[in-house]
Amino acid sequence: MDGIRAPAVLSQRKRQKGMHSPNPPCSYEIKFNKFVIFIMQRKMGMTRRTFLMELARRKGFRVESELSDSVTHIVAENNSYLEVLDWLRGQAVGDSSRFELLDISWFTACMEAGRPVASEMKYRLMEQQDQFPTLNTSEPEVPSFAANKVSQYSCQRKTTLNNFNKKFTDAFEIMAENYEFKENEIFCLEFLRAASVLKFLPFPVVRMKDIWGLPCMGDQVRDIIEEIIEEGESSRAKDVLNDERYKSFKQFTSVFGVGVKTSEKWYRMGLRTLEEVKAEKTLKLSKMQKVGLLHYEDLVSCVSKEEADAVGLIVKKTVCMFLPDALVTVTGGFRRGKKIGHDIDFLITNPGPREDDDLLHKGLLLYCDIIESTFVKEQLPSRKVDAMDNFQKCFAILKLYQPRADNRSYNASKEFDMAEVKDWKAIRVDLVISPFEQYAYALLGWTGSRQFGRDLRRYANHEKKMILDNHALYDKRKRIFLKAGSEEEIFAHLGLDYVEPWERNA
């Protein structure tokens, strides 16, 4: 060979499948011809890979759909150096040294810069994890903690509410929310996953060495951690908090019934505050948005555990008037042990014959938006990680009367001064009706946390070749639905240790 790298030897079968064929023509201009990127689908999934490929092409990068001899950079997510080599051997590639093997953090940095960035050591997949020099060998090690044993999936980590790294995770969640407002899923998830890992750590991070070997610590994440360690705060997170667009979206999306799309519309109209929204006569608000603005102060205030318990008694008592055997379970953050929240979620099911279809139509609430069930029997679980489920549900506002300081209720005193301080509070309540046979899956999904659910579904798909949603678990290899009468059985189907609800605060 005399120092010349031989092209990879590819099997005839791979050639017939088009491994050397060019990508289909697209309308995007290629600005960076020297860089030919291939994104591995392993542990990533087809949907996310397709999204990343499209994003890179829009920014002028050349991206190959199939591994070919022209590829220069292979990008992998949550795969080690040895795992990538093993995958390449499976593709009949004999010489992997001609590729740059890079972590997804390099791709993320390129997308943020809008151009290729240097493939520095921190981006490269390497055989040894200890690729960084020790800065101070006299510093004590964290006892009994192996960073390289920490799973990339939060469903394999037990995360309580005891967060030792709040100053970091608060900054990450600000960054994630800002990217969510910009509908940039890649960067949003990068920060959410990093926050999830740091919430799990049984110690506070005080130096960069503490995060070596941990998963989901991309370049942007490390930069913010380093700045907070050195300066005490993140200038990037501070800039976001002072950004006009972020502040407007933060206000708009805090209104019941307003999401990112509506916020974008209002912002483009020149609206910046809720006062301006209320004053804009041309706006056509939905019924939900009108109610959200009417009860805004109540709905943005925190709901206490005591208030959640009081609402729970009302809901259970009322449901049992119609379905005496019904099970009513509080889900969401309160089931995970939180003392405060912004709404209360209830899962309702009936062990007996199906008599719950009309429950939400009984007129139990002052305001409700009912969404009918769209579930079809034998329907495969959704492949979309954040897909809304198909249960009948209602997003409601309940009027909770509160005790007066003089122990008189509003009803007992209303004959007096009607202008008195109001004795009730508007509280957001979500009611979800689940068929009894799907109850375990619904309970798992609606308990959260959102990141825990994301990772559980990602783990099922990538590691077990199963599809999980709030209705069912489907084994793609055996082509069967796996029944479960409890959350413990679902974890067992997935080969996971059971994680208690209060350990799912990812």
| Residues making up the binding site for Mg(2+) | 343, 345, 430
**Where do we find the tokens 């006569």?**
281
In degrees and rounded to multiples of 5, residue 349 shows phi and psi of: -145, 160
In what side-by-side order are the strands of the sheet with 424-433?
Answer: 327-330, 344-349, 424-433, 392-401, 367-371
Question: How many Cβ atoms from other residues are within 10 Å of residue 408's Cβ?
Answer: 13
Structure tokens at 424: 């009730």
**297 contact partners, CB below 8 Å, separation of at least 6:** none
Catalytic residue list contains 406: no
Contact (CB, 8 A) for 220 and 186: no
| E runs forming strands in 185-299 | none
Directed axis angle between helix 219-231 and helix 166-181, to 10°? 130
Contact (CB, 8 A) for 4 and 33: no
> Quick one: three-class SS letters along 70-124?
CCCEEEECCCCHHHHHHHHHHCCCCCCCCCEEEEHHHHHHHHHHCCCCCCCHHHE
Which of the following is catalytic: 210, 345, 423, 455?
345
SS3 9: coil
Cα distance between residue 188 and residue 167, in whole Å: 18
**198 contact partners, CB below 8 Å, separation of at least 6:** 163, 165, 168, 169, 172, 205
Catalytic residue list contains 345: yes
Distance of CA 45 to the CA centre of its chain: 15
HSE on the CB side for 451, CA within 13 Å?
25
Contact (CB, 8 A) for 305 and 333: no
Cα distance between residue 62 and residue 32, in whole Å: 7
Catalytic residue list contains 430: yes
Which of the following is catalytic: 298, 369, 430, 475?
430
Which of the following is catalytic: 103, 210, 219, 343?
343
Whole-number Cα distances in Å, 60 to 72, 114, 115, 241: 16, 8, 8, 31
**Taking Cα atoms as reference points, which of 164, 213, 220, 212 lies closest to residue 192?**
220
Cα distance between residue 413 and residue 411, in whole Å: 6
Structure tokens at 102: 């890079």
Residues annotated within a binding site: 343, 345, 430
**Taking Cα atoms as reference points, which of 450, 439, 424, 453 lies closest to residue 489?**
439
Contact (CB, 8 A) for 125 and 79: yes
Give the residue numbers marked as catalytic: 343, 345, 430
